[in-house]
Amino acid sequence: MAEKLKVELVTPYKKVLSEEVDEITATGALGEFGVLPGHAPFLTSLKIGELAYKQDGVLHHLALNWGYFEVENDKVTVLVETAERSDEIDLERAKAAMSRAETQLKSLAPEDKSFRVYEAALERALIRVQVAGKAKR
Amino acid sequence: MANLKSIKKRIVSVKNTRQITKAMKMVSAAKLRRAQENVVAARPYAAKLAEVLERLAKSQDTDASPLMVKRDGGRALLMVVTSDRGLCGGFNANLCKAAERFLRERKGDFSEVSLMTLGRKGYEFLRNRHQVRKNHGNIFSTLSYQTASLIAAEVIEGYLAEEYDEVYIIFNAFKSVMTQDITIQQLLPVVPQDSGEEEVQTQYIYEPSKGALLDELLPKHIDVQIFKALLESVASEHGARMTAMDSASKNATEMIGKLTLIYNRARQAAITTELMEIISGAESIKG
C-alpha cells in the first residue's frame, strides 16, 4: 500500500510528531476511532486518552491530554496540551499521582469544585500507567 | 594625598559594578536563548489553532458562542504584561506608558476600564492611577501552559459573568534582541482572523457537533493567546535586560578609563611637587 497518512502532532511546547504512518487510532469525544488513508475530512475533539499509530508494522503509543484532531486529504493534524510517548512516561510518578488523586477523591464530595480537577488528574494518571504498560510488551 | 585615595576607591567601586552588570548580561543571554526557543516552539500550535478556529467560525453564525458575541456595554478589561524585575531599560516604563496612551485614546469607546496586571512592575506603576482588578505576580519564573490556562479561565469567567464586555492584552512582542514591539490585541470577544483566501468548501464530518467543538476550542484559543503573550514578553524582557546591561558595562568601562587617567595625572602631579620640594630644599642647603 503506497498511501500513507501524514501526521503532525503539536503541543504548546514542541512538535512531538511529524511522520508518515499507516494507521492511527485515538479516543475522541464520542469514543475511540481509527483512521486509515483515504478517510473523509473529519474534525473532532479528543478526550484524555491514548493515541496509537502504526508505522512499518510497529505500534507506537502516546498518552494525550485534551486535544483536537483533524483529517483532511490524508493529512492528520493533532493539537494537544500534553503528549507523552510510552517510553517517556515516568511510571513511578504516574502511580504516585494516581494514588494521590484517589485519596483526594475519597475525601471530597462530587459537588466540590476541586472534585472535577482530581477526577481529571486520576484519569490522566490512569492513561499514563496504561500506556506505559504497553511499551514494555 | 587624600584625593588620590578617593579616586582609587571610586575606580574599585565602578569595577565592581561592571562585574555585576557583565554577569547579569551573561545570565540574560542564556535565559534569552531558552525563552526564544519557547516562543518558536509555541508558534505552530497557536497558528494551527487559529486556522481551525477560522474555518469553524466561517461556517457558523457569529453569535454561536457567548465568547464571540459583541456586547455594547463598553466596559473594558486591559491586561498589562510587564516583568517582575527591573534593570531592563525602558522595557516596563514604555509598556505602561503605551497602556496609558491606549486608555486615553479609546476613552470615548469605553464607559469603564479596569486593569489586570501580569508582573510586579506594571502593578506598581499603575495601581495608583487606575483601578487594578487583580495582579498576577511571580508567574514568569515558573511559566507554563497551565499558568496561562488558569489566568485565561479567570478572565473568561469574569467575561461570562458580564463584569466586562471587552478584553484587551498589551505586551512586548519579541522582534529581535534589540527591539520589542508593543502590541495591543483584542482577546474577547473573539474575532476570528480572516486570512482572506477563499476556502475550498470541504464537507467535514464533525464530532460531536460544530457548535460543541467551537465551544471547546474558543477557551483554548484564549489560553494559547495569553500563553503566547507571556512567552513573548519573557523573551523581550531578557532581550531588553541584555542590551541594558551591555550598555551599562560599556559605560562602566569608559568611566574606569577616565578615572584611571585622572588618577595617573594626580599621582604624577604629586610626584612632581615632591621632587620640587626636595630640589628646592637641596638648593637652599648648597647656597
Q: Which residues of A36-58 are buried (b: 16+ CB within 10 A; e: fewer)?
A: ebebeebbbbbbbbbbbbbbeee
Cβ atoms of A115 and A106 within 8 Å: the answer is: no
**Mean pLDDT estimate for chain B:** 87
β-bridge pairing B205-207 and A42-55 = parallel
List the grid coordinates of B88: 531592563
Winning range, highest mean pLDDT, from A5-14, A41-50, B89-98: B89-98
Cβ within 8 Å, pair A43-B52: yes
Question: pLDDT-derived band of residue B69, with 50, 70 and 90 as boundaries?
Answer: confident
Specify the pLDDT at position B49. 84
In this predicted structure, the answer to whether residue B200 has a pLDDT above a threshold of 60 is: no
Specify the pLDDT at position B113. 86
Specify the pLDDT at position B197. 56
In this predicted structure, the answer to whether residue A1 has a pLDDT above a threshold of 70 is: no
pLDDT (tens digit per residue) in A59-71: 888 888 888 888 8
- For residues B229 and A99, what is the distance between their CA atoms, to the nearest angstrom? 36
Say how many CB pairs under 8 Å bridge A and B. 68
Cβ within 8 Å, pair A42-B207: yes
Is the CATH number of domain B2-23+245-286 3.90.1170.50? no
Which of B46, B56, B204 shows the shortest C-beta gap to A42?
A: B204
Q: Which positions in chain A touch B44 (Cβ < 8 Å)?
A: 10, 15
Please name the residue of chain A whose CA is at the shortest distance from the CA of residue B201: A41
Q: Which residues, 6+ apart, have CB-to-CB distance to B153 below 8 Å?
A: B219
Question: pLDDT-derived band of residue B202, with 50, 70 and 90 as boundaries?
Answer: low
Q: How many CB atoms lie within 10 A of CB A32?
A: 12
Q: Which positions in chain B touch A28 (Cβ < 8 Å)?
A: 207
Which of B46, B48, B204 shows the shortest C-beta gap to A41?
A: B204
- For residues B122 and B182, what is the distance between their CA atoms, to the nearest angstrom? 14
Q: What's the average model confidence in pLDDT over B88-111?
A: 88
Q: What's the average model confidence in pLDDT over A94-98?
A: 84
Compute CA distances B25 → B20, B31, B120, B247, whole Å: 9, 10, 21, 10
Question: pLDDT-derived band of residue B240, with 50, 70 and 90 as boundaries?
Answer: very high
Partner A contacted by B216 (CB < 8 A) = yes
Q: What's the average model confidence in pLDDT over B91-116?
A: 88
In this predicted structure, the answer to whether residue B51 has a pLDDT above a threshold of 70 is: yes
Partner A contacted by B52 (CB < 8 A) = yes
Percent of chain B with pLDDT over 70: 93
Cβ within 8 Å, pair B208-A72: no
- For residues A23 and A52, what is the distance between their CA atoms, to the nearest angstrom? 8
Q: Which positions in chain B touch A17 (Cβ < 8 Å)?
A: none
In angstroms, the separation between the Cα of residue B42 and the nearest Cα of chain A is 5
Cite the active site residues of B.
88
In angstroms, the separation between the Cα of residue B208 and the nearest Cα of chain A is 7
Please name the residue of chain A whose CA is at the shortest distance from the CA of residue B212: A45
Question: pLDDT-derived band of residue B196, with 50, 70 and 90 as boundaries?
Answer: low
Cβ atoms of A126 and A98 within 8 Å: the answer is: yes
All structural domains of chain A, each given as residue ranges with its CATH number in brackets, are: 5-86 (2.60.15.10), 89-136 (1.20.5)
pLDDT (tens digit per residue) in A34-43: 898 888 888 8
Specify the pLDDT at position B262. 93
Domain boundaries along the sequence of chain B: 2-23+245-286, 30-243
**Mean pLDDT estimate for chain A:** 83
Cis previous bond, B219, omega within 30: no
Quick one: which of B156, B129, B134 has its CA closest to B221? B156
Partner A contacted by B44 (CB < 8 A) = yes
Partner A contacted by B40 (CB < 8 A) = no
Cβ within 8 Å, pair B38-A13: yes
In this predicted structure, the answer to whether residue B53 has a pLDDT above a threshold of 60 is: yes
- For residues B111 and B73, what is the distance between their CA atoms, to the nearest angstrom? 8
Percent of chain A with pLDDT over 90: 0
Cβ within 8 Å, pair A44-B203: no
Cβ within 8 Å, pair A13-B42: yes
Written as one letter, the residue type at B19 is Q
Cβ atoms of B73 and B113 within 8 Å: the answer is: no
Q: What's the average model confidence in pLDDT over B41-65?
A: 77
In angstroms, the separation between the Cα of residue A82 and the nearest Cα of chain B is 10
Q: pTM of the entire structure?
A: 0.84
Q: Is the dihedral of CA B234, B221, B57, B71 positive or negative?
A: negative
List the grid coordinates of A72: 483532511
Question: pLDDT-derived band of residue B16, with 50, 70 and 90 as boundaries?
Answer: very high
Specify the pLDDT at position B61. 60
- Please check whether the two domains, B2-23+245-286 and B30-243, share a CATH topology: no
What's the alpha-carbon Rg for chain B, to the nearest Å?
29
Specify the pLDDT at position B230. 92
Question: pLDDT-derived band of residue B18, with 50, 70 and 90 as boundaries?
Answer: very high
Q: ipTM of the assembly?
A: 0.76
Partner B contacted by A77 (CB < 8 A) = yes
In this predicted structure, the answer to whether residue A137 has a pLDDT above a threshold of 90 is: no
In this predicted structure, the answer to whether residue A132 has a pLDDT above a threshold of 80 is: no
Q: Which residues, 6+ apart, have CB-to-CB distance to A90 below 8 Å?
A: none
Cβ within 8 Å, pair B45-A12: yes
In this predicted structure, the answer to whether residue B77 has a pLDDT above a threshold of 80 is: yes
Cis previous bond, B192, omega within 30: no
In this predicted structure, the answer to whether residue B265 has a pLDDT above a threshold of 70 is: yes
Cβ atoms of B45 and B224 within 8 Å: the answer is: yes
In this predicted structure, the answer to whether residue B227 has a pLDDT above a threshold of 70 is: yes
- For residues B217 and B128, what is the distance between their CA atoms, to the nearest angstrom? 37
pLDDT (tens digit per residue) in B129-157: 888 888 888 888 888 888 888 899 999 99
- For residues B67 and B211, what is the distance between their CA atoms, to the nearest angstrom? 12
Percent of chain A with pLDDT over 70: 96
Cβ within 8 Å, pair A43-B204: yes
Cβ within 8 Å, pair B207-A44: yes
In this predicted structure, the answer to whether residue B246 has a pLDDT above a threshold of 80 is: yes
Please name the residue of chain A whose CA is at the shortest distance from the CA of residue B52: A70
Is the CATH number of domain B30-243 3.40.1380.10? yes
Question: pLDDT-derived band of residue B80, with 50, 70 and 90 as boundaries?
Answer: very high
Q: Which residues, 6+ apart, have CB-to-CB distance to B250 below 8 Å?
A: none
Specify the pLDDT at position B236. 93
Q: Which residues of B45-80 are buried (b: 16+ CB within 10 A; e: fewer)?
A: bbebbbbbbebbbeebeeebbebbeeeeeeebbbbb
List the grid coordinates of B158: 469574569
Bridge partners of B116, per DSSP, are: B79, B134
